[in-house]
Structure 1
């Protein structure tokens, strides 16, 4: 009898210890659960479009620096203005871009920033939760869009140039844009391409846009962009607007 009680107490102690230790493990964030753990529904509609204010990276059509490399800031602001329901003036956009660039200077960043830096900027400066999706699929992208969540895409502009002749010099090596919708019947994504004045609700084919997705290379050399991994950035509408 004593032996049975001892064994029972032993197993109870083991179970209690496991439960306590499990409760101390860090929990997966809500953003990670949405992006990774939540199954993609099978009944995704055949088309969807998010209506958003269009932000040009050179609002005053001045392509000198810093506007030549302001696609990251313009893409982030496109999503930020969408969540805040704002349609700012060009003067306001210019001021917002310059403030973001000043913040980056304080971090000692270069004029081109990668997706990790964009995520940090989104969290620390704009106060959003973020998630970076590695090797995104068309189904993953469509799943976010149907939830009215825009997607920021770092891309090889030379590839985008194949379907967007509004770029000069054959397109930039490193570029950023925002996906807002898709259409299965046309096999196209709809984007705000901040790099040209013709970029509002621009259409890129599924295959070409997916092929273009590349982060800024670790080397910092934009010409090496095809060697960099495919990643996209998600900002979640988790803040009060």
Structure 2
């Protein structure tokens, strides 16, 4: 690098082509590695109902993030379906006709679109059906603290029910996540005709998903 001005033009071209070729091969191989990390990350996120997972290695770590964006296709119809009161208080229309949706309503709408909920039983009914079932005091604590967040809910269950740290709770947490989504949906939508309302909502919104892999390492050590 220090004697570039002394190199001949042909030598400069040859070196530039070599480096460009190496970078293209490196990018192709890196994309393959990232794709495999993404596949493994998606499997973990699907099992745990999370949108973020971190893998650790000897030289650094890799984060896999699954983000989704809600797009309102038919605002007038959505206003009729969820009610003008909810629409006006939970959705802001920007000057350029961009829509900023309240986080809780956004989660409910995404759950409706992705059919990521269950009305089969309430949270209390589900807790009573656990084996062993929590007592009334424990159910009261869990009802207040469980939010449908895998990591936080897992910690709450372990602390409240005095379970071992390595307890297998994936199935329970999966149901809790869907039940909490259903609670949000019921909070925003009228109970009467809720199934047809949700069918209508799916036709006037769109949820796009995107997965990204981020590598975190010390560049000096990696070099």
Q: Which has the higher contact order (CA 8 A, sep 6+)?
A: 2
Please report the TM-score for the alignment, with normalisation by the length of structure 2.
Answer: 0.23
Please report the TM-score for the alignment, with normalisation by the length of structure 1.
Answer: 0.22
More helix by share: 2
